[in-house]
Amino acid sequence: MAKSKTTYFCQNCGYESAKWLGKCPSCSQWNTFVEELVEKAGNKVPDWRSGNSLARKANKAAVIHEIIYQDEQRIKTPDKELNRVLGGGIVAGSLVLIGGEPGIGKSTLMLQLALTIPGVKTLYVSGEESEQQLKMRAERLMQSSKANCYILTETSTQNIFKQIASVEPDLVIIDSIQTLHSSQIDSTPGSVSQVRECTAELLRFAKESSTPVFIVGHITKDGAIAGPKVLEHMVDTVLQFEGDRHHMYRILRAVKNRFGSSSELGIYEMHGTGLREVSNPSEILLSQRESPLSGITIAAMLEGVRPMLIEVQALVSNSAYGTPQRSSTGFDTKRMNMLLAVLEKRFGFRLSAQDVFLNIAGGLRVEDPAIDLAVINAIISSQQDIALSNNIAFAGEVGLSGEIRAVNRAEQRIAEAAKLGFEQIFISKYNSKGLDVSKYNIKITWVAKVEEVFGALFG
């Protein structure tokens, strides 16, 4: 008979301790230990096929050159944005964790995925909604006629695995991991030990059966996925579903991906009939203006391997209070302060007594340093009240001495600007080596210093 005992777990990282501690020795967080009743199952692990406990089999070491390598088998979904974020499709036997704020659309995205994959039998397990609620959502998505989607409302992992053995699905979706509980652990659903044990059972099932599993996770008030940090280490892919639920656009971002790039993102538009993928995000990130306005420039950025053109908005005004304000939305405030210091030290612009506000249109958060050139031109355009043409794009990193440094994947940035009808792009001359400019229908202006840009734009 299994022996039960009480153990203390850190809610932040999952560290286990025999007694209560004020400070976690693993993550250094205070007052995060909670007491949980756990059951030691010895050297036995639950078998997902029958729900019984079997002795753990020992694996043998193999020489690396004797291991047979095979390319990952991927399931192509009708959702091109999801395929891009996952690295080309769903890998067989992979465990994917998707997190996001309440009401952002995680369940809608997963149900839409389950209903639209042709020729794939899917099992959608929900511990939060009833069958009638899921049927109502499927009717709203106008995809309820799909015969290969099975709905199960269950929270016990043992019962879920029995249904999996009966249905034999090609894809399993769990909504959500915080509602599941395993009979191997006596603590309540959503606790650190339960989340870790349920995820371990799903991981074992995915790897042994080569069935991909999607699990939905809640997030904390800080934006991190709820549960122990080890949860993100266990899974193969971590996706973050971001956006403001009061706006229609959503961003699916890959935070971790063992089968592809971890810098990809997909953009969706929320409608009454579900999520619609946005194939050309540059069109929605650029506002439609009839005439040029001061303080607005266009930057050619790169998110992963995806080029996009975004709108940078700046507002510079005299400070009404003693201390000037510095505020940025979607751009690092410390980097903006650095660029302001470069403008004041190297070029004599008096910005120390003025308020500076910076905004990246569309709700994006940009970390690409190649938008530096667009940022400083937007700031000077607003300060001098000189409007720049809507047909000019910028791509360049600004150094502390005022030089314009080269950017990566310059060809893709230029091609994206030319495709959207821009007439001119300013880019670092250090990108010109080995670049064939004759194939682009756009004027490329090579610049090495910020003075050259200011001279061409502001005179």
CATH number, position 300: 3.30.230.10
- pLDDT above 90 for 55: no
In a domain? residue 65: no
101 assigned binding-site residue: yes
Q: Cα–Cα distance between 149 and 111 in angstroms, integer?
A: 9
Q: Do residues 262 and 300 share a domain?
A: no
Are 377 and 267 in the same domain? no
* Domain assignment of residue 62, yes or no: no
Supply the pLDDT for residue 144: 58
Q: Give the pair of three-digit tokens for residue 373.
A: 């050139």
pLDDT bracket for residue 313 (50, 70, 90): very high
Q: How is residue 140 written in tokens?
A: 């709203």
Mean pLDDT rounded to a whole number for the chain: 86
Q: How confident is the model at residue 293 (pLDDT cuts 50, 70, 90)?
A: confident
247 lies in the same domain as 306: no
Residue 324 and residue 434 in one domain: yes
Q: pLDDT digits over 119-129, tens only? A: 899 999 999 89
Q: Which of 12-21, 176-185, 398-407, 435-444 has the highest mean pLDDT?
A: 398-407
Same domain, yes or no: 300 and 174: no
* 306 and 450 fall within a common domain: yes
CB-neighbour burial class of residue 273 (10 A; exposed 0-12, middle 13-18, buried 19+): exposed
Residues 131 and 216 in one domain: yes
Both 236 and 297 in one domain: the answer is no
| Residue 264 binned pLDDT confidence (cut-offs 50, 70, 90) | confident
pTM above 0.85, yes or no: no
Handedness of CA 217, 220, 223, 226 (dihedral sign): negative
Co-location of 246 and 376 in the same domain? no
Are 185 and 160 contacting, i.e. CB atoms less than 8 angstroms apart? no
- Flag whether 56 is in a domain: no
**Statement: residue 300 has pLDDT above 90:** yes
Q: Is residue 57 part of a domain?
A: no
Co-location of 423 and 299 in the same domain: yes
Q: Is 191 annotated as a binding residue?
A: no
| pLDDT recorded at residue 54 | 43
pLDDT per residue as tens digits for the range 89-141: 999 999 999 998 888 889 999 999 999 888 899 999 999 899 999 998 888 88
* Amino acid letter, residue 25: P
Window from 146-150, 264-268, 341-345 with minimum mean pLDDT: 146-150
pLDDT for the residue 155: 92
Tens of pLDDT, residues 408-418: 989 989 988 98
Cα 207 vs. chain centroid, distance in angstroms? 24
Q: For 368-386, what is the mean pLDDT?
A: 94
Confidence label for 146 from pLDDT (cuts 50, 70 and 90):
low
Residues paired with 99 in a beta bridge: 217, 240
Residue 68 resides in a domain: no
Q: Are residues 35 and 184 in the same domain?
A: no
Task: Specify if 417 maps to a domain.
Answer: yes
68 is in an annotated binding site: no
Last residue of a domain, one of 277, 295, 324: 277
Is position 59 within any domain?
no
Same domain, 179 and 264: yes
Of 12-16, 44-48, 149-153, 282-286, least confident by mean pLDDT is 44-48
pLDDT at 429: 92
More confident position, 405 or 52: 405
Place 245 in a pLDDT band, splitting at 50, 70 and 90.
low
pLDDT value, residue 38: 65
**Res 375: pLDDT:** 96
Domains: count for the chain: 3
CATH at residue 217: 3.40.50.300
Amino acid at 448: A
- Structure tokens that stand for 352 in this block: 């120390």
Ligand-binding annotation for 104, yes or no, is yes
User: Was 102 annotated as part of a binding site?
Assistant: yes
- Please determine, for residue 43, whether its predicted confidence score (pLDDT) is greater than 50: no
CA–CA distance from 168 to each of 120, 149, 172, 341, 361 (Å)? 11, 12, 10, 62, 46
Domain range for 295: 287-457
For residues 345 and 448, give the distance between their C-alpha atoms in angstroms, rounded to a whole number.
Answer: 18
Domain assignment of residue 126, yes or no: yes
- Among 68, 295, 35, residue whose Cα is nearest residue 188: 35
Count the residues in the chain. Answer: 459
